[in-house]
Amino acid sequence: MGNIVAIVGRPNVGKSTFFNRLIKRREAIVDAVSGVTRDRHYGKTDWNGREFSLIDTGGYVVGSDDVFEAEIDKQVELAIDEADAIIFMVDVESGVTGMDEDVAKLLRRVEKPVFLVVNKVDNNARAQDAVEFYALGLGDYYTVASISGSGTGDLLDAIVEALPQKEEVEEEELPRFAVVGRPNAGKSSFINALIGEDRYIVTDIAGTTRDSIDTKYNRFGFEFNLVDTAGIRRKSKVKEDLEFYSVMRSVRAIEHCDVCLLVMDATRGFDGQVQNIFWLAERNRKGIVILVNKWDLVEKDNKTAKDYEKQIRKEIAPFTDVPIIFISVLNKQRIFKAIETAVEVYKNRTKRIKTSVLNEILLPVIEHNPPPAYKGKYVKIKYIMQLPTPQPQFAFFCNLPQYVKEPYKRFLENQLRDRFDFKGVPVSVYMRKK
């Protein structure tokens, strides 16, 4: 299971620069996928082989500084609740401010590892100035310069050291389907409608993380765990509409599932937050099924399902090979279709294609449509195989992998999709030197 590290602090101390610095390093390697930069506040990074998710809480706050006073408390509380470790960032140029003191007061009560990070320390004089941050009562601090990255190594060593080692609980490996979406889209009602018929429930497992509830479910001769991210809410703590909260929840659920059922409200459309959750699932290479709920409330004359679907596909391009199902939880319309589809997507995600079949089918196609020549050099693809990963990834071995550009990779991906059905599943295509 992934650890979550949250970055908190008042505006303009350099949280985003620091965040981008850590994520970029990783994205350049792993996530050379278009659409990656759509959601700038969440990402994965790794250090010394330990992978963790990083959340920049500042990215979720809009508005002026006075609005921020109230917001920052909320963010810090969320980080305290949800993250495994917290980076509290301050800025040596402005020294200790009242707002820093407020945050420190909240963080002093926390049982979790808190790292006080003094940013913008890029010379010796500033390193001397940083001493005043001892006043925050959080013990030792780390000095960094986000812009150049100096000091981040020591900080990351300490963070990775402090992160709880999560035991991998390998009970029985049932497929996990996570029901995600923004608040009030109908996630819980969807789950209740499914589970309403008690005889299908096998057991209730207490949530693996304390905020998502797993239900073991057996239907169509298929057994799986249903993860409800709506889970247990502590109403008092946070106003439900806080975007950050639902994103945090979705992050955990998405990282540990096989297929995401993304429930959206037809009357609100495929808006920014739904898109964030979609790209989150895509970037984690999970299976995805989009469920358009409350379809019964939409005026049908101006919005046919076809137009609506077209609109969504436009937003999720280039990854358009995703099932979209119109449901009404209230009228129990197409709810089981949703589950059947999730099962199909799960099977697509775990599909293994024999090397001999791949080569037999795709090499002739490639011969007909070779990659465009680059600077007078011709790329020859000799051999294809599927990599032994949990989700579909294919290696195409050729003489000049560096000359194969994005559009041609997309062509190859589409050929794979046309011939082997990977509906609902991100497919990765790698060029390798023969």
Confirm or deny that 294 is annotated as ligand binding.
yes
Closest-CA residue to 200 (of 222, 178, 176)? 222
Please report, for residues 118, 154, 275, the alpha-carbon distance to residue 22 in angstroms, rounded to integers and kept in the order given.
16, 13, 23
Confirm or deny that 212 is annotated as ligand binding.
no
Confirm or deny that 272 is annotated as ligand binding.
no
Confirm or deny that 131 is annotated as ligand binding.
no
* Order of strands across the sheet that contains 50-56: 42-47, 50-56, 3-8, 85-91, 114-119, 141-143
388 burial level (CB within 10 Å; 0-12, 13-18, 19+): exposed
Confirm or deny that 119 is annotated as ligand binding.
yes
- Report how far residue 268's alpha carbon sits from residue 316's, in angstroms, rounded to the nearest whole number: 17
Confirm or deny that 410 is annotated as ligand binding.
no
Confirm or deny that 49 is annotated as ligand binding.
no
Confirm or deny that 10 is annotated as ligand binding.
yes
Confirm or deny that 109 is annotated as ligand binding.
no
Confirm or deny that 20 is annotated as ligand binding.
no
Confirm or deny that 293 is annotated as ligand binding.
yes
Confirm or deny that 59 is annotated as ligand binding.
yes
Confirm or deny that 296 is annotated as ligand binding.
yes
Neighbours of 121 (CB within 10 A): 24
Confirm or deny that 325 is annotated as ligand binding.
no
Confirm or deny that 230 is annotated as ligand binding.
yes
Report CA 269 to chain centroid distance, whole Å: 20
Confirm or deny that 401 is annotated as ligand binding.
no
Residues in the chain: 434
Confirm or deny that 188 is annotated as ligand binding.
yes
For helices 15-29 and 152-162, the axis angle rounded to 10 degrees is: 80
Q: Measured over all CA atoms, what is the biggest interatomic distance in the chain, rounded to whole angstroms?
A: 70
Confirm or deny that 295 is annotated as ligand binding.
yes
Confirm or deny that 305 is annotated as ligand binding.
no
- Report how far residue 281's alpha carbon sits from residue 262's, in angstroms, rounded to the nearest whole number: 9
Confirm or deny that 235 is annotated as ligand binding.
no
Confirm or deny that 7 is annotated as ligand binding.
no
Confirm or deny that 269 is annotated as ligand binding.
no
Contacts of 27 (CB under 8 A, 6+ apart): 36, 43
Cis, peptide link before residue 11, omega less than 30° from 0: no
The first and second tokens of residue 287, run together, are 């299976």
- Report how far residue 166's alpha carbon sits from residue 86's, in angstroms, rounded to the nearest whole number: 17
Region for 206 from its dihedrals, namely left if φ exceeds 0, alpha if ψ lies in -120 to 50, beta otherwise: beta
Confirm or deny that 186 is annotated as ligand binding.
yes
| Element spanning 348, H or E | helix 335-349
- Report how far residue 256's alpha carbon sits from residue 324's, in angstroms, rounded to the nearest whole number: 22
Confirm or deny that 187 is annotated as ligand binding.
yes
Q: Is 298 helix (H, G, I), strand (E, B) or coil?
A: coil
Confirm or deny that 56 is annotated as ligand binding.
yes
Confirm or deny that 47 is annotated as ligand binding.
no
Q: Which residues are annotated as a binding site for GTP?
A: 9-16, 56-60, 119-122, 181-188, 228-232, 293-296
Q: Which residues are annotated as a binding site?
A: 9-16, 56-60, 119-122, 181-188, 228-232, 293-296
